[in-house]
Amino acid sequence: MTGQFDLALLIGASVLLVAVAAVRLSTRLGLPSLLVYLALGMALGEAGIGIRFDDADLARALGFAALIVIIAEGGLTARWSTLRRALPLASALATFGVAISVAVVAGVAHYGLGLDWQLSLLYGAVLSPTDAAAVFSTLRRLRLRPRLVAALEAESGLNDAPVVLLVVLISTGALWERPPALQLAFIGYELAAGAVVGVAVGAAGAWALRRAALPASGLYPLAAVGLTVLAYAAGTVLHASGFLAVYAAGVLLGNARLPHRRAVLGFADGLAWSAQIGLFVLLGLLVSPARLLEALLPALAIGLTLVLLARPLSVAGCTLLPGTGPVLGWREQAFLSWAGLRGAVPIVFATIPLSTGFADGSQLFDVVFVLVVIFTLLQGTTLPSAARWLRVTAPAEPAELTVESAPLEDAGADLLHLDVPSNSRLIGVYVDDLRLPRGAVVTLVTREGSRFVPSAHTRLRAGDSLLIVTTPDCRDEAERRLRAISRWGRLAAWRRRGGESGIPI
């Protein structure tokens, strides 16, 4: 038994290290890293070194656990200032857009490929959500217009919630047990209740973490991620959408200026990478390569329908809905359509019919696996070129100022730490011009290895590290002021008075 455990550790550590090294290689080659992880899993499986894994129930459980972590990281890193402008469109894509995609794919599968309605609807439902891991890892390497990035990231964080409900209802046959209006009401309740649970857990957790002085800084990241998992569990216990609860809690926590926020986001990012690696390797293990050739033609037919018909119709329909913000031009719509990446999420959802004993579950899984590999390779490698060709790239903006806070329990104060980025408009600003609120003071500046207490006439330079002590009451105001000056310079307050909305001072 000990020998088997040691061997498992050896294989697991080796796979993890190879996967980490593969990230750099895939970035250089412009390949989505998930394809490398899937290939690793297949190399370990029955067609490679011979590890046999066919437990669909375990794959589903571990897949859901990985998705919780990935969605939580997406919520924690989402900027509310950008997200709120794209949230109406993202919500429409995650609900109305999913319905359009399901209907189009199911119709083509039924009438074009001769599949029965249950299997056709399953294809439509399983393939309708975009993948959070694929979208986050790909789009963050591109310089795009903020609304496009926010819409795609929010959509991928939100659309898992309605789709998982739909896949379970279709694969178990429960979709036809209630009238359509009652089914819609049931799904609506789960989504609304999930959002409420997520907001409640996120708000309560943020309030507690901001006021708790934990004995070690490493406990804050654990607590933040633990709260998102708590949101999922609370949602499922209350028969609400756990995935939506996770995303909502993550957004609340990520925008709450938590103590040691940089450590929280770094921990969540590393955990999400681990979840992605484990998830894709696991799914690669689950597939049987001998059956994939038979799935090639159906995968191409359904994939082309999805990419060239269903997704564009979903985007076009949602952008025309009232309340979703300014109507997007054809270039932005085309990019939104092409950037709707499918990744691990459809493959994980394809394990649901497998675990419920659905008759055509193996065929569905194989087709979805082949489709994801082919179209992720096609879309993921061409996104930078598509963004340039469609002219949806954005000029470089001043870097988002990262302010790290830590409670000083004994002194009844908070300590803020920030580094002045190279393109920040804090550069050249005198300490006196920061106009920090009463109760906040710059106590130390670190510059090129030397440390000194600044005066009012000290001028900030790129690379400076500042330590600022504030009272708890004025910490938020001090952070808002620093972020505003970093983005807009000394005239931040004037721009606000001039009527420019959304600029904190």
Q: pLDDT tens for residues 53-108?
A: 777 788 888 888 988 998 898 888 888 877 888 888 888 998 899 999 999 999 99
Question: What residue numbers bound the domain in which 490 lies?
Answer: 403-497
Judge if 287 and 411 occupy the same domain: no
Higher pLDDT, 478 or 19: 478
Residue 236 lies in a domain: yes
Q: What is the DSSP letter of 431?
A: G
What is the average pLDDT across 188-212?
A: 90
**Confidence class of residue 126 from pLDDT cuts 50, 70 and 90?**
very high
Domain boundary among 361, 390, 419: 390
What is the average pLDDT across 31-59?
A: 75
Residue 213 lies in a domain: yes
| Residue 28 confidence (pLDDT) | 62
Judge if 375 and 429 occupy the same domain: no
> CB of 379 within 8 A of CB of 324?
no
| Residue 309 confidence (pLDDT) | 93
What is the average pLDDT across 237-245?
A: 89
* Packing angle, helices 242-254 and 219-237, rounded to 10: 150
Least confident range of 136-145, 186-195, 367-376, 430-439: 136-145
Residue 62 lies in a domain: yes
Domain boundary among 329, 359, 390: 390
Side-chain-facing half-sphere of 248: CA atoms under 13 Å: 27
Judge if 314 and 424 occupy the same domain: no
The structure tokens listed for 338 are: 């092409």
Burial 212-249 (b: 16+ CB within 10 A, else e): eeeeeeeebbebbbebbbbbbebbbeeebbbbbbbbbb
Domain boundary among 358, 390, 422: 390
| Residue 6 confidence (pLDDT) | 73
Q: What is the mean pLDDT of the chain?
A: 82
Could you give the number of structural domains in the chain?
A: 2
Tell me how crowded residue 462 is: count the other CB atoms within 10 A of its CB. Answer: 14
